[in-house]
Structure 1
Amino acid sequence: MPGNEQRRVKLSHRARTRPAAGIRTLFPKEKVPGMISLLAGKPNEKSFPFKALTIDTQGADGEDVKLKVDGEELAEALNYGLTPGITGLVQWLMEFQARAHNRPIGPDWRLNLGAGSQDLIIKTFEAMMDRGDVILAEDPVYAGVLPALESQGCRVVPVPTNRDGIIVSQLQHILENWESAPMTKDLPRPKCLYTSPTGGNPSGTTQTEAVKEGVLREAIKHDFTILEDDPYYYLEYPTAGAPASSAVDRPRPRSYWSMDYEWGNGHVVRFESFSKLIGAGLRVGFAMGPAYILDAVDAHTANTNLQPSGLSQVVIYSLLRNWGSEGFYKHVDRTAAMYREKAVRFEECARRILCKPGLARFETPTAGMFLWLELNLPESKADTMAFISEKAVPAGVLAVPGFVFLPLPQRTKYVRVSFSKLADEDFEEACMRLKRAVEACWEEVGESVPEVGV
């Protein structure tokens, strides 16, 4: 494995030349036994009006549990803290991730916390890429990353996908023909590939292990870093009719980050989030990867927002300590089962009301909370941004126009619909309103709806 200085060359110019945050680099020294710290301008905890935090929560088996945070733990959470996160929570997550992904704790990786996983992803983009650098991205791709890449002046090269995820043969073709293909011949070689492999947003599909193996082989061969954004990892739906197993033992997808330990050891940064599992407003996510990359991310944080919220961290840490690993798995499996039930019911309505009359089609989601609908619109109306504003909104229904998920700007017939917060009694009415909006497009052009495959 290359040494740290050799690997730091892969960082962006800004990351390599960013001055250290002088005070924060010394924060860990305050933990040295016997140290008298005259270092930081931390406020005295006695000035804080909060004496204790009591939270009514759900226990590992769904029972009511009351948690209390007070004393030194609360004082630490309310004050300036370490940039990578509260030490106890970081250690808990490292031990959990080592078991969950079969990757022993060692010098080849570390973990840090951020203000949600998107905070860490955007800072990783900035740490890895300069203006004009290239990133590969699955197509369609999570819409939240595209504005950041554009504002950083990065070039995005799309990689086609299907129900199994990234099409490896297409990725190989792009890389093997880089210097001759019109789209890439004037571009530098890619530094990263961004993907959301489980219950992809917006597609709802999950990459197979064979796909991940193929993509990782290309990353090693062509020396780019896979940015594995996996907020729906624990929301993969349990298989109906599968043999009963404990929450801990239930098979889960093998991650790129797990494979990287065996194959590449340094070609993957993995991002996870508590937003879909515990509370989106808490704004806490975490990343695992090579220390030289996460050090650069922490340096960015130390010079901007300083740290993730200490109060949010201590709430999550208290909950995880109460649950333990088994309790966490039980909770996420209950959550995944809830979303599966909603997905099954919403899909039934969508297939009956939209697909059967030939108004839409989609792939059955395997995780998460979305359907990626291809609407059967007239070619003159094949712009779902206009469709949403001119037809769907007047019909009383909202969805996300598909163009925001496309790495390259273009018209599209796709929309993303979310069923996560939709009340069961509204499933049918939501589909009926979409149906009326699509039919209105065909009435406007004076044609009947042509038949399409479901």
Structure 2
Amino acid sequence: METTMDYRNFIKPFSGRRRPNITRELTKLNYNAPKEAISLAEGMPNEATFPFEKITVQLKDGSNFTLRGPQLGSALQYLPTRGYPPLVKTLSEFTYYVHQPPNWEARELIVTNGSQDGLSKCIEMMLEEGDPILVQNPLYAGIEGILKPFKASLIPVPQDQNGIIPIMLKNALEDWKKRCTADKELKMPKLIYLNPTGSNPCGATIPLERRKEIYKICCDYNIIILEDNAYYFIHFNGPSPPSFLSLDTEGRVLHFDSFSKVLSSGLRLGWVTGPSVLIQNLELHIQSAHLHSSTLSQVMVQNLLKTWGFEKLIAHFGTVCSFYKIRRDCTVAAMERHLKGLCDWVVPSGGMFVWIKVRGVGDVYDMLLNRGVKNKHVTFVPGHAFMADPNQACNYIRAAFSKASPKQIDKAMSLLAELIREEKVLLQRKLSNCT
């Protein structure tokens, strides 16, 4: 990769002290050893002691595959930290097939327990306690949970219907730069978290030209992009714009993929693609935490990909996307029926959520979590959970349209309308009592 990137600045000393475990390295070697090789090195259980004879997986399209014999043994056994070698190879080919990033030979890939696992360990690898980090605001609540123990200084970047706003990103960086000049103990941020397609919670997708602007700003200020692309294949307005990974000429994108939204969330299968230096260090974090991600899940997915091929896999993703688009449309129609004049919203371009702004109610927390749950038996997430500062008053609501039926969605929006009207009456009474 033609880059002047010095990754030493991005790997904190704590992470830099990690060293490979020799038994784990021997496990890696054993997978590539000749058949006649004899190993007394690995402390692995013998597959003959496992009680499983075979596992057959029946797919909804009528196809199936069976794990038995040596392949079943592999599926129930320890494996290298990077992942099940055939799957690592397939995922590498799939990632290139979808994203075609430049300088592909300078990147590597590692399998994780969903993208959340990869995000958590990458942040652990790079963020010191108290460090600043740029985040889209509102942001995925799971990231706030990762960052809280680090006492990180969240630098929020406002979003509109097209995701984070480049000029706002640049302004935030310049403002922080001035603070660093005034306070020598402050550092400039080195990371930005982005959920660029069908973002959680607001369903926004960053257009290509805006992505290019954001990428250039990150190059100018030497920032690594944590690209959480869990909803890449759930984009309702045609194909998703090219990923930041696709635009990454400098080696400053860590790209987090996941099958959770499009195959199965319970498989807990994701992968991280990025510059070799960073992936190699991430491998040591995973090695010391849980050795490797679930072997059975990896072997099952590898067999699925082998059975279907990439074209059929992409076609399946299209079916999933169509399913959620119908749910999205039902949700928006229900909101038009029940919430018009009470709330504002932007029709989400992807993902599983709609972000609702309530008119005339300064804070929705008690309304939703007390009166809504207890009196109406309906549950929404108050926007506080997704804000860079969760302690501020917030009049936004996240509604998920992925699981509930269209009939349930319509009922929920009707109940929400009742709740908002009742809340406004309560607020008016309080105001009258104060005066």
Q: TM-score, normalised by structure 2?
A: 0.93
The 5 Å alignment of 1:207-246 reads 207-239=206-238
Q: Which amino acid aligns with 1:46?
A: A
| Distance change >3 Å, CA 309–CA 105, structure 1 → 2 | farther
Q: Structure 1 131/330 Cα, relative in aligned 2: closer, same or farther at 3 Å?
A: same
| C-alpha deviation, 1:231, in angstroms | 0.4
Q: Which residue number corresponds to residue 364 of structure 1?
A: 347
Distance 1:252 1:171 in 2: 22
Q: Secondary structure at the match of 1:282?
A: coil
CA RMSD of aligned residues (A): 1.9
In the other structure, the counterpart of 1:326 is 311
> Displacement, 1:156?
1.3
SS at match of 1:288: strand
CA distance in 2, matches of 1:195, 1:375: 25
Secondary structure of 2:354's aligned partner? strand
Could you say which residue in structure 1 is the equivalent of 2:433? none
Q: Distance in 2 between matches of 1:388 and 1:178?
A: 35
Counterpart Cα distance in 2 of 1:359 and 1:127: 45
Alpha-carbon distance in 1 for matches of 2:277, 2:128? 17
User: Structure 2 vs 1, CA of residues 104 and 45 (structure 1 numbering), >3 Å: closer, same or farther?
Assistant: farther
1:412 aligns with 2:412: no
Quote how far apart the aligned CAs of 1:415 are. Answer: 1.0
Q: Report which stretch shifted further, 193-202 or 123-132.
A: 123-132
Instruction: Give matches, 1:75-86, under 5 Å.
Output: 75-86=73-84
Q: Residue 8 of structure 2 aligns with which residue?
A: 8
Q: Given that residues 198 and 205 in structure 2 are in contact (C-alpha distance below 8 angstroms), is that contact kept between their aligned partners in structure 1?
A: yes
CA separation in 2, counterparts of 1:446 and 1:8?
58
Deviations 1:83-133 (A, max 9, x none): 111011111111111121122674310111111110000000011111122
Contact 1:238–1:340 under 8 Å retained in 2: no
Q: TM-score by structure 1 length?
A: 0.90
Equivalence for 1:131: 129
Q: Paired residues, what number?
A: 424
Give the aligned partner of residue 27 of structure 2: 27
The aligned residue for residue 175 of structure 1 is 173
Give the Cα–Cα distance (whole angstroms) in 2 for the partners of residues 21 and 49 of structure 1: 30
- Give the 3 Å change call, closer, same or farther, for CA 238–323 of structure 1 in structure 2: farther
Contact preservation (8 Å) 2:28, 2:79? no
Q: Is the 8 A contact 2:197 2:240 kept in 1?
A: no
Cross-structure match for 2:419: 437
1:294 aligns with 2:275: no
Letter in 2 for 1:404: A
Partner residue of 2:162?
164
Alignment identity in percent?
31
In 2: Cα distance, 1:2 partner to 1:335 partner: 38
* 3-state DSSP of counterpart to 1:193: strand
Residue in structure 1 matching 2:378, options 390, 397, 415? 397
Greater Cα shift, 412-421 or 390-399: 390-399
The one-character-per-residue Cα deviations of 1:215-237 (angstroms, maximum 9, x if unpaired) are 10011111110000010000111
Q: Is the 8 A contact 1:342 1:420 kept in 2?
A: yes
| 2:48 aligned partner | 46
Determine if contact 1:391/1:440 at 8 Å carries over to the other structure.
Answer: no
Runs of 4+ in 1 over 3 A off after TM superposition: 1-4, 104-107, 181-186
Residue equivalent to 1:18: 18
Q: Aligned partners of 2:177, 2:195: CA distance in 1, in Å?
A: 27
Equivalents in 2 of 1:94, 1:103: separation in Å? 11
CA contact (8 A) 1:206 1:366 kept: yes
Task: Tell me how far 1:441 sits from its aligned partner.
Answer: 0.6
Q: CA deviation at 1:238?
A: 4.7
Take 2:97 and 2:181, find their aligned partners in 1: how far apart are those partners? 42
**Amino acid across the alignment from 2:407:** E
Gaps of 5+ in 1: 240-250, 448-454
Aligned positions of 1:193-272 closer than 5 A: 193-239=192-238, 251-260=239-248, 263-264=249-250, 266-272=251-257
Contact 1:8 1:292 in 2 (8 A): no
1:38-88 Cα offsets, whole Å, 9 max, x none, are 112100000001121101113xxxx31121111211111101111111011
Q: 1:310 aligns with which of 284, 295, 301?
A: 295
Aligned to 1:243: none
Matched letter for residue 382 of structure 2: P
Aligned partner of 1:284 in structure 2 is: 269
Distance 2:305 2:182 in 1: 46
| 2:194 counterpart of 1:192 | no
Q: How does 1:95-114 map to 2 (within 5 A)?
A: 95-103=93-101, 106-114=104-112
CA–CA distance in 2 between the matches of 1:210 and 1:269? 20
Letter aligned with residue 390 of structure 1: N
